[in-house]
Each structure stands twice: as structure tokens, then as C-alpha cells.
């Protein structure tokens, strides 16, 4: 009898978030599911890990599904490390992270705890996907996402991924019928133009709230931002080797050893 795939599920919005509950429901149709996810929201954590305090992972029962779940006191990257080293009895066949409440397209991938969890699994050589829905509300409707999440996951289970690559999947906040399809894209050249709202507390001490707006500087029609704006799900293959290979030849012309 063939073993079912072992699927590791995590996120950055916390183990009780509706997005991860939707993701777990889909993964239960595909394999044996183990969840290791933060016990509280960890959005914007990036690839932070816990070095100076204790980590806890509590076995929890949140709904009636067949999955095994652990609520972890650490970051999304911590959750993946702990799952692989302590909580799984065999190597997972795939890691899925999300479904995030909000976009992780273009430059947002740098800050994303959702994607950092997927990348952490990718570093371990595990095929990995980060899923995000472009709806930041807690009560977002994840039902339209489910068939597409299943299709993409099935394809990764079937075909695998190139070494050093994970998938960043973003889903527009529209009805299932309005989604035109799935596009393989590149990351758009876009960024946040940030400002700080400076205020004083009752004791007269300055404090700041980060604000800003997102600016898309890329006119290409092969980008994740274009796909999302035009009713497509974007799939960007992301590599975690940050070497700028194209710059090596130029840097080798510098007189660094004189």
C-alpha cells in the first residue's frame, strides 16, 4: 500500500487564523497533515528565528480534522525548524504555508513570514509553497481559493521543484468564476514608499507608526502585479540563493588586493 504524502502546514497569521484552517482542509484531501504554526500572529517577521528565549510547542486540538497540530511560541521559520527536527516522524513530502491574509507579491516577499516559512523548508530541500489571498480582513472568504490551492499543490507533489526554488502564490480577491487562470510570473519591480506618523505619548516621549503606499514601477505584463490586477493567480518561483551572479564579473575588476 502506497503511503500518503506527508504534508507540513504552517503560516504567519497564527494557528487559529481562518486562512490556515482553509489550507488544512485542502491538504487533508491530499495526504497526512501535520501542522506546526505560531500561537499568535507573526506577520512581517521575515526570516527571524528565536535565539535568546525558550521555544514551546503544544499539542492542540482546534477542529475535528484528522490532522496533528502543534501551536508553537516561535516565528514561522522556527515552526518549520522545530517540525523537521522534533515533531515529524519522517521527512515531509511538501511544506505549504498560508493561506496568508493579504498580499505577498513583489517586494512583500522579503518581509513575509508566510514566505520565510516556505523558504526555510526549501533550504532543507523540501518542495514548498507559500499561498496568499489579497484580502487582509480576518473574515476573508477562502472558499474560492481552495480548488486552485489543491491544483498547484498536486502539481508540486507530482513534479517536484528545481533545487533551491520555492513557489510564491498570490490569489486575487475575486470570485472563483472571475479568476481567469494561473500565470507563472516574475516578481514585479515595486516597493513601499514609507512614512512615519510621529506622535507623543502622555509622558512626552516620541513614538512612531509606520505608514506608506505601495508603488508599482513595473509596466511589464509578465509580472505578479499585472497578473493579480488582471484576474489571474500569480505563481512566482523564488530562489533563496541571494548571490547577484551577474555582478561577480564586474566586481572582479576592482583592485581589492593591492
Torsion angle (degrees, nearest 10) of CA 102, 165, 81, 146:
40
Other CB atoms within a 10 A radius of the CB of residue 13 amount to: 24
Beta-sheet strands, E only, within 88-244:
94-101, 128-133, 165-171, 181-184, 190-200, 206-216, 232-239
Q: In the predicted model, what is the mean pLDDT of residues 194-210?
A: 91
Q: Please, what are the domains in the chain?
A: 6-188+220-251 (3.40.1210.10)
Q: What b/e string do you get for 121-152 counting C-beta neighbours within 10 Å, with b at 16 or more?
A: bbbeebbbbbbbbbbeeeebebebbbebbeeb
pLDDT for res 1: 54
Q: What's the order of all strands across the beta sheet hosting 232-239?
A: 57-60, 68-72, 32-38, 6-10, 94-101, 128-133, 165-171, 232-239, 181-184
Q: What is the mean pLDDT of the chain?
A: 94
**Residues 6 or more apart whose Cβ sits within 8 Å of residue 245:** none
**Residues 6 or more apart whose Cβ sits within 8 Å of residue 163:** 125
- Give Cα 32 distance to the centre of its chain: 20
Give the rounded percent of residues in the chain with a pLDDT score beyond 90. 84
Could you identify the residue written with the cell 514609507? 194
| pTM above threshold 0.75 | yes
pLDDT in tens, 116-150: 999 999 999 999 999 999 999 999 999 999 999 99
pLDDT bin (cut points 50, 70, 90) of residue 44 is confident
pLDDT for res 70: 98
Other CB atoms within a 10 A radius of the CB of residue 108 amount to: 23
Q: In the predicted model, what is the mean pLDDT of residues 203-229?
A: 90
**What are residue 204's phi and psi, to 5 degrees?**
85, 10
Amino acid at each position: 500500500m502506497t503511503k500518503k504524502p506527508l504534508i507540513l502546514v504552517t503560516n504567519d497569521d497564527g494557528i487559529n487564523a481562518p486562512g490556515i484552517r482553509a489550507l488544512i482542509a485542502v491538504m487533508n484531501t491530499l495526504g497526512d497533515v501535520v501542522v506546526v504554526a505560531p500561537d499568535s500572529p507573526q506577520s512581517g517577521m521575515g526570516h527571524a528565528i528565536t535565539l535568546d528565549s525558550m521555544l514551546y510547542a503544544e499539542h492542540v486540538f482546534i477542529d475535528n480534522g484528522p490532522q496533528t497540530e502543534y501551536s508553537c511560541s516561535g516565528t514561522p521559520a522556527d515552526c518549520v525548524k522545530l517540525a523537521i527536527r522534533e515533531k515529524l516522524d519522517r521527512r515531509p513530502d511538501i511544506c505549504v504555508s498560508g493561506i496568508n491574509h493579504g498580499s505577498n507579491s513583489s517586494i512583500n516577499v522579503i518581509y513575509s513570514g508566510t514566505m520565510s516559512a516556505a523558504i526555510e523548508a526549501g533550504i532543507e530541500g523540501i518542495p514548498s509553497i507559500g499561498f496568499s489571498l489579497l484580502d487582509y480582513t480576518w473574515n476573508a472568504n477562502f472558499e474560492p481559493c481552495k480548488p486552485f490551492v489543491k491544483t498547484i499543490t498536486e502539481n508540486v507533489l507530482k513534479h517536484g521543484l528545481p533545487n533551491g526554488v520555492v513557489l510564491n502564490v498570490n490569489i486575487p480577491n475575486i470570485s472563483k468564476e472571475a479568476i481567469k487562470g494561473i500565470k507563472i510570473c516574475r516578481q514585479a519591480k515595486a516597493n513601499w514608499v514609507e512614512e512615519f506618523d510621529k506622535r507623543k505619548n502622555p509622558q512626552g516621549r516620541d513614538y512612531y507608526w509606520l505608514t506608506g503606499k505601495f508603488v508599482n514601477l513595473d509596466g511589464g505584463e509578465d509580472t505578479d502585479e499585472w497578473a493579480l490586477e488582471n484576474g489571474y493567480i500569480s505563481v512566482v518561483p523564488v530562489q533563496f540563493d541571494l548571490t547577484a551572479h551577474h555582478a561577480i564579473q564586474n566586481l572582479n575588476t576592482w583592485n581589492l588586493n593591492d
